[in-house]
Structure 1
Amino acid sequence: MIDPSIVEKWLRGWSLSRGLPLPAKSDSGFRVDVGWPEQKTRYVFPGFTNEFIDLANTITEPRVFLKVCAPPGVIKNRIPSRWVIQPPGFMMTCFKTMSSPKSALPDGYVLEVRNEAPVSLAKVLTTNGDIAAIGRLVFVDDFVIYDRIETDLLHRRKGLATMIMKTLEDIAISSGKTNAVLVATEAGKALYETLGWTLYTPYTSVVIP
């Protein structure tokens, strides 16, 4: 059973991480007015509900995302064909210290950390100042939300994402918080599993292009 409060806390953190309005509660989910050219609005549902179906049937404008904590097969044949299923997402949780030890950075990189409430930011930079990896952390009540963990294509497979995660974890632990949640891509899921994260629920998105 998916806990709606965990989904709401994650979405609040997602919004804070991006400087967006906080989510508004709907009948069975949440709405964020994103306002980006590529994403006008997102609706997020802890489960597949009649409200999700109603929105899918009535919305015809592009770049409005419907997102649900369920696998794609649950919704595939129950919404109009104008909606396109996006690459899979995975909501993951970690309620303990991550399993991988924090190792030293490879030569040629430096770590930069900034705590600017409500967002803590960790970056791995090259000696030229280019961003090789980056990630953000937001506290929402008793949860830690990890967000926008990214490694530049030219700097992958060097342990930089792990360095980012462990650096952010140090910030969380210093605040006495260990309950953590994030949404991962398929590639990111594999990394987080090595760090001790577990799958909480599949996370499926659809949009009208």
Structure 2
Amino acid sequence: MPFGSTAEAVRAWVDGWVVSRGAAEPTREPWGFTVQVGLSKEVARHVLTAADGATVRKLAESSVAGVALKVFVPARTLAAWLPAGWGLLDGHAAFMAASLADVEATPGLPGGYRLSSWSRGGVTRVVVRAADGAFAARGQIAVTGTTAAVDQVETAPAHQRRGLGRAVLGTLAEAGAGQGARAAVLGATEEGRALYESVGWRVLAPLSAAMRHTEGGAP
């Protein structure tokens, strides 16, 4: 394990995520961290490093719409703890980590694809475009000392299963290592988990998230 504990890895994730997204500095809480995000769909988030049903319910009952809970338990467990009016958020399954030296090197891209990258404000972004210039894949990494957070990895449906995700992850690992990071963390979907594991990432804990329902009925 590239971190001394899961709690240490979670702190690295929070620190890297706020840099990646331009969010406020995290506030330490007895149960984890609060981050002011400042978006209309997510005004803030509570990241719980020590979660139990009573803590989750208390936070949920005191949180307004637009405040997300990020909890390192299976989705079914979080669902059982939520009060009425709350629902699970899609796109959360596993909290993962990797030693950047162990992440598979960047493979070559299929013919016609072009990869570009740039760094600004502590964040390196990678974009792959198709031969016609259309978006194909992307990802970014924020380095905070010797650790980093990989974020917003995405491949367009029309360009999946062509090795583009592997190329993005390899490029991000090289960029992070080049800036002094030795280990990295990320939050994965169930679909993305297999890709990450295939290039050297390992699951540290389950990850699920929830938010209060809107008037339309969706979180």
Q: TM-score, normalised by structure 1?
A: 0.90
> Which digits, 9 at most, give the CA deviation of each residue in 1:130-175, with x for residues without a partner?
2211110111122121111111111111100110111111112323
* SS of equivalent to 1:170: helix
Separation in structure 2 between the aligned mates of residue 2 and residue 51 of structure 1, nearest angstrom:
22
Equivalent residue letter for 1:48:
A
In structure 2, distance between residues paired with 1:6 and 1:24: 17
User: What per-residue deviation string (whole Å, max 9, x for no partner) do you get for residues 2-22 of structure 1?
Assistant: 533321221121121112212
Query: Which residue number in structure 1 is paired with residue 129 of structure 2?
Result: 125
1-structure distance, mates of 2:101, 2:198: 12
Deviation at 1:176, TM superposition (A): 4.0
CA distance, structure 2, for counterparts of residue 37 and residue 118 of structure 1? 24
Task: Give the Cα separation in 2 of the matches to 1:13 and 1:204.
Answer: 19
Aligned amino acid, residue 142 of structure 1: T
Q: Retained in 2: the 8 A contact 1:17–1:136?
A: yes
Match status 1:114 vs 2:118: yes
Q: Secondary structure at the match of 2:37?
A: strand
| Letter in structure 2 aligned against 1:165 | L
1:72 maps to: 75
C-alpha contact (below 8 Å) 1:86/1:205 kept by paired residues: yes
Corresponding residue for residue 42 of structure 2: 39
Count of residue correspondences: 208
Matching residue of 1:84:
87
The answer on whether the counterparts of 1:14 and 1:147 sit within 8 Å (CA) in structure 2 is yes
- Give the CA deviation at 1:188: 0.7
Instruction: Report the Cα distance in structure 2 between the residues aligned to 1:47 and 1:69, rounded to whole angstroms.
Output: 8
Identical columns (%): 29
Distance in 2 between residues matched to 1:85 and 1:183, nearest whole Å: 15
Contact 1:27–1:51 under 8 Å retained in 2 = no
What is residue 216 of structure 2 aligned with on the other side? none
Structure 2: gaps of 5 or more residues = 214-219
Q: Which moves more between the two structures, 143-152 or 101-110?
A: 101-110
Partner of 1:95: 99
Using structure 2 for the length normalisation, give the TM-score: 0.86
3-state SS of 2:56 partner: helix
